[in-house]
Amino acid sequence: MDKIIIEGGKRLSGTIPISGAKNAALTLLPCALLTDEPLTLRNLPRLADIDSFQHLMTQFGVSTSIAGTRPGDFGRVMTLEATRLTSTTAPYDLVRKMRASIVVLGPLLARAGEAIVSLPGGCAIGNRPIDFHLKAFEALGATIEVANGYVRAIAPDGGLKGGKITLPFPSVGATENALMAASLAQGDTVIENAAREPEIVDLCGLLCAMGCEISGQGTSRILVHGQNRLHGATYKVMPDRIEAGSFACAAAITGGEVTLQGAASGDMEATLQALRDAGVAVEEVKGGIHVAADGPIREVTVSTAPYPGFPTDMQAQLMALLCKGVGTSVLTETIFENRYMHVPELNRMGANIETSGRTAIVHGVEKLTGAEVMATDLRASMSLVIAGLAAEGETQVHRLYHLDRGYERLEEKFALLGAQVERVGEG
Ligand code: UD1
């Protein structure tokens, strides 16, 4: 298993390209199940999660091919073709490894009239139920059976029917599943209290490119005019706002400056505002965002919230930045109940963080020190890398596979910024 070794104390400076968004890509890929025509996705990040999803799609009889990229390029182009579905079952082994697999339920149900997907269970950041997804399918006429660790959703004779879905919470995954199911349902569907995340807007962009009629995306009320069939499309994945925010925190903790080429500032206002509040200069430049830090990192108070609030996926990275600062910051995690596993590891690096329930109090310290650390999830791993960049001496971050799930060519991007970050095999 690989690990990453960071020699801290180098000031980051330069320009990096921002990759296609993992969280968008993982909801665009299953759209291939909605049509018998080819779907081509451009700007797909090269990530372990994308490879796993590609593998999952082949389980349903989808043919996939990757073309048009050279080894040195960032991003890939993938064409998926689901001429005929040969299976509607997503097995435990694949769903267990990647929770995002649950978004195949909606498109399989809509196209094939049935979907059998292993219940994902909890994960490192908390108990992650799918009851909102299942209620949404029921609102479209589906019958749900849960047995032996699997959920089986069955469409009525004649297929799903448009309906009214009211989500108890603006769940991203449930909104995605509902959108894909509704796109092939007969008649109109309204999704109330829908998630407003940019990745939802990106998904609606693709569904519209495939022939669906959708309005209200980006608001809490989305209207979907379902179609009898959808056609193929070519579509570019949006830039990754979490990757961009992570590199902004990395540059800031070293007192450095970075241009995030391709980042879309309109998608990440809450993150940029938190950085500004921390004393970091943030500027929109042609084709991207420029971030520079030359004074001390100041205290901030932030709660995670559904978009347009501060993203839960940025909480750990912002916390790492605030560790090496002045004043006392207060972070509150409202989305997941167990998302502070990076705290003890950051404290081992000299940080001074206390947690109480969903709140973390970060007392800024003057210096961090390198250590051997490991994390149990993707964003937590990135927070340890960020702390390592500013720490005195060497930091080793174990379990690199977490980072490979969500950051395309991490060490190459850090090398472009002058950081000393090396990947080594642990034998
Ligand atoms: C969440 C994040 C998303 C992030 C992704 C990956 C939010 C609102 N969502 O999306 O931004 O990219 O993780 O880290 O920040 N819930 C239920 N029942 C359900 C579905 C969800 O109770 O059927 C609850 C969850 O337990 C959680 C909340 O709703 O507390 C938000 O979940 P949801 O948005 O669905 O999670 P993801 O789609 O995984």
What residue owns the CA closest to ligand 1's atom 27? 335
pLDDT at 125: 57
* Contact yes or no for 67/77 (Cβ under 8 A): yes
Q: Which of 104, 335, 358 has the most ligand 1 atoms within 8 A of CB, as the residue to mutate?
A: 335
Atom of ligand 1 lying closest to residue 99 CA:
39
CB of 315 closer than 6 angstroms to any ligand 1 atom? no
Q: Among candidates 179, 175, 182, 89, which has minimal Cα distance to 132?
A: 175
CB of 174 closer than 6 angstroms to any ligand 1 atom? yes
Cα of 109 vs centre of ligand 1, distance in Å, is: 21
Q: Which of 172, 238, 268, 341 has the most ligand 1 atoms within 8 A of CB, as the residue to mutate?
A: 172
pLDDT at 400: 87
Cα of 312 vs centre of ligand 1, distance in Å, is: 9
pLDDT at 93: 87
pLDDT at 124: 61
pTM of the model: 0.96
* Contact yes or no for 360/331 (Cβ under 8 A): yes
pLDDT at 121: 59
Q: For residue 272, what are its two tokens?
A: 């940029």
Q: Per-block average pLDDT, block size 10, for the chain (427 residues)?
A: 93 97 97 98 93 94 85 84 97 85 96 93 66 97 93 96 98 98 98 98 98 98 98 98 98 98 97 98 96 95 98 98 96 92 96 96 97 92 97 95 91 96 84
How far is the C-alpha of 255 from the C-alpha of 12, rounded, in Å? 8
Inter-helix orientation angle 172-183/105-112, to 10°: 10
What residue owns the CA closest to ligand 1's atom 32? 171
Atom of ligand 1 lying closest to residue 305 CA:
15
Q: Exposure of 355 by Cβ count < 10 A (0-12 exposed, 13-18 middle, 19+ buried)?
A: middle
pLDDT at 311: 98
Atom of ligand 1 lying closest to residue 128 CA:
26
Q: Among candidates 148, 216, 214, 145, which has minimal Cα distance to 185?
A: 214
Cα of 412 vs centre of ligand 1, distance in Å, is: 31
Cα Rg, the chain, nearest whole Å = 21
pLDDT at 296: 95
Atom of ligand 1 lying closest to residue 100 CA:
39
Q: For residue 201, what are its two tokens?
A: 């807007």
Domains and CATH numbers, the chain: 2-16+240-425 (3.65.10.10), 24-236 (3.65.10.10)
Q: Mind telling me the catalytic residues?
A: 123
